[in-house]
């Protein structure tokens, strides 16, 4: 970038209103050509050094943060996140010497060259500005977080054009990682998939096109951002940089039930029932999502079948069960989760080990009934030490299909000893459902939950029976909660 152009953009950053940079045409400010992506970043931070300094402090960069979401750890000085938590998808990035697994996972890291535990998180020149800001649809990342070299060689991806076309993030930018988390479209988050890139109101009232009656909203309309800290809290994780709530827009003068003849009844439900519970009756409505991942079959010779055009088996990963138009699992949620932490001893396996479970119950005034995706897992546990193990998958099990070797090598990254004996245990994780909000006419009706409706298991939620008859948390029966 020329010095005069850099000075001009820097002045615009100082003088322009918040968010004005989204409208700046960079085609005459960013010259190129660029030999590689790191050269693009150097050009970006020549003007946006403060933004770079802000970004490297965020969980999108560090993959960890204060565990505000974890019950009992809200004020802990410890930092938790993808970098050090165990899950029932790919299990952990820490598997293998020097965190060997992290290289495969890093295609969803907003940085370049993340290949192991020695990555320098203070190095701003490693930031991938383009993954969030490029409008170039061909911009894709591969292992270690690098842009697809083959796409560059074959001309599908032009780094100069990508850099010159930057702007505010679009759903395509956010979806590059969030739609494909878990390694496949719609796989992990049941309410997020590429179907939302261009969808209609019937699938999501917020992101549906205006032609279909939707709002065509960008992600940051709800996930508000300050100094690159993006609001939003997934119960699959442990940290967040701000909450997002339906009431941010739908409250007070914008009472969403204002035109309903049942307004008073519906609003009384809000003391115990989250908006999402009634307004997201199913998830994965357009794209199937993984509902189960069984690692115990990995390495075997099994002919995969298909569910919803998805394979049910991969030799390097195991067996899967997919779901579409899934009715959520309902649970009380007070805004925190009970989280399994690495090295935690497992005392019993009669029930699935909960890696992330919403906290709260019927007696908790702060809790409401929310919808969740309950992801079932089956993964290795040390038979002697009784904690979950982390295999080295990348460069090991995916290639050799040897559990003993993968677990021995995997332990070198976790810092936990491996006894040499293992078994598989069932696990479960709960992911909160917030997207794919249906049109109001598709919201749940009274009879789907009450008077014989089977959607909610009242006794499992702590009620003696249907609260319409037995009374709600307030002890009152009738049309209230």
| pLDDT score recorded for residue 472 | 85
**Token representation of residue 274:** 């989250």
**CB-CB contact of 382 with 414 (8 Å):** no
Q: How many CA atoms lie within 13 A of 56 on its CB side?
A: 17
**Token representation of residue 162:** 């990508």
Backbone angles phi, psi at 57, to 5 degrees: -100, -5
Angstrom distance (rounded) from CA 127 to CA 447: 52
What residue has token string 């332990």?
411
| pLDDT score recorded for residue 398 | 96
What residue has token string 């190129």?
32
**Token representation of residue 196:** 């939302």
Buried b (16+ CB within 10 A) or exposed e, 39-76: bbbebbbbbbeebbeebbebbbbbbbbbbbbbbebeee
For residue 374, what are the β-bridge partners?
430
Angstrom distance (rounded) from CA 203 to CA 217: 13
Residue 289 three-state SS: strand
For residue 330, what are the β-bridge partners?
371
**Token representation of residue 67:** 């565990």
| pLDDT score recorded for residue 475 | 59
| pLDDT score recorded for residue 284 | 98
Nearest residue to 276 via CA among 346, 364, 358:
358
Strands 310-311 and 306-307: antiparallel
Strands 329-333 and 368-382: antiparallel
Angstrom distance (rounded) from CA 26 to CA 10: 12
The terminus-to-terminus CA distance of the chain in angstroms comes to 61
Angstrom distance (rounded) from CA 232 to CA 304: 36
| pLDDT score recorded for residue 140 | 87
Nearest residue to 136 via CA among 106, 110, 107, 156:
156
Angstrom distance (rounded) from CA 411 to CA 97: 8
| pLDDT score recorded for residue 23 | 63
Nearest residue to 456 via CA among 270, 281, 333, 257:
281
Max CA pair span of the chain: 74
Q: Calculate the dihedral angle through the C-alpha atoms of 306, 308, 309, 313, rounding to the nearest 10 degrees.
A: -40
Nearest residue to 24 via CA among 14, 39, 11, 9:
9
Nearest residue to 394 via CA among 421, 413, 375:
413
**CB-CB contact of 370 with 333 (8 Å):** yes
Mean pLDDT of successive 10-residue segments in the chain (481 residues)? 38 35 78 92 96 97 97 95 96 96 94 96 97 89 92 92 94 94 93 96 97 96 96 96 94 86 89 96 97 98 94 97 98 98 96 98 96 98 98 96 98 97 98 97 94 94 93 61 42
Nearest residue to 331 via CA among 269, 268, 292, 374:
374
Q: How many CA atoms lie within 13 A of 136 on its CB side?
A: 25
Rg (CA), the chain: 24
């Amino acid at each position: 970038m020329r010095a005069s152009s850099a000075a001009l953009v820097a002045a615009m950053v100082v003088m322009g209103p918040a968010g004005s940079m989204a409208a700046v045409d960079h085609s005459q400010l960013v010259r190129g050509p660029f030999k590689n992506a790191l050269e693009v970043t150097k050009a970006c931070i020549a003007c946006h050094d403060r933004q770079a300094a802000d970004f490297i402090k965020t969980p999108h960069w560090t993959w960890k943060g204060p565990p505000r979401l974890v019950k009992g750890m809200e004020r802990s000085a410890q930092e938790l996140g993808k970098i050090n938590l165990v899950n029932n998808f790919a299990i952990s990035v820490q598997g293998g010497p020097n965190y060997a697994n992290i290289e495969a996972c890093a295609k969803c890291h907003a940085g370049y060259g993340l290949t192991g535990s020695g990555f320098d998180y203070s190095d701003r020149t490693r930031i991938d500005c383009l993954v969030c800001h490029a409008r170039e649809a061909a911009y894709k990342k591969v292992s270690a977080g690098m842009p697809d070299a083959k796409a560059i060689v074959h001309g599908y991806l032009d780094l100069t054009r990508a850099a010159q076309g930057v702007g505010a993030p679009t759903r395509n930018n956010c979806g590059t990682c969030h739609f494909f988390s878990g390694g496949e479209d719609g796989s992990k988050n049941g309410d997020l998939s590429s179907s939302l890139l261009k969808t209609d109101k019937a699938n999501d009232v917020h992101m549906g096109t205006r032609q279909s009656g939707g709002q065509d909203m960008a992600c940051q309309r709800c996930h508000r951002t300050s100094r690159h800290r993006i609001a939003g809290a997934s119960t699959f994780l442990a940290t967040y940089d701000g909450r997002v709530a339906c009431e941010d827009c739908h409250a007070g003068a914008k009472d969403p039930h204002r035109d309903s003849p049942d307004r008073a009844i519906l609003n009384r439900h809000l003391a115990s029932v989250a908006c999402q519970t009634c307004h997201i009756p199913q998830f994965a409505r357009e794209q199937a999502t993984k509902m189960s991942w069984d690692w115990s079959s990995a390495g075997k010779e099994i002919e995969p079948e298909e569910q919803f055009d998805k394979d049910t088996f991969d030799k390097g990963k195991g067996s899967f069960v997919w779901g579409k138009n899934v009715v959520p699992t309902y649970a009380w949620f007070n805004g925190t989760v009970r989280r399994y932490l690495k090295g935690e001893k497992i005392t019993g396996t009669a029930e699935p080990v909960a890696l992330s479970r919403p906290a709260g119950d019927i007696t908790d005034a702060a809790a409401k009934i929310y919808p969740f995706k309950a992801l079932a897992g089956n993964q290795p546990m040390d038979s002697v030490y009784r904690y979950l193990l982390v295999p080295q998958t990348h460069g090991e099990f995916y290639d050799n299909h040897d559990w003993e070797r993968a677990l021995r090598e995997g332990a070198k990254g976790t810092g936990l000893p491996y006894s040499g004996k293992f078994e598989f245990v069932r696990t479960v994780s709960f992911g909160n459902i917030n997207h794919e909000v249906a049109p109001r006419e598709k919201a749940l009706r009274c009879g789907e939950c009450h008077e014989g409706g089977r959607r909610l298991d009242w006794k499992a939620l702590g009620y003696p029976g249907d609260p319409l008859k037995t009374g709600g948390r307030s002890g009152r029966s009738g049309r209230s909660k």
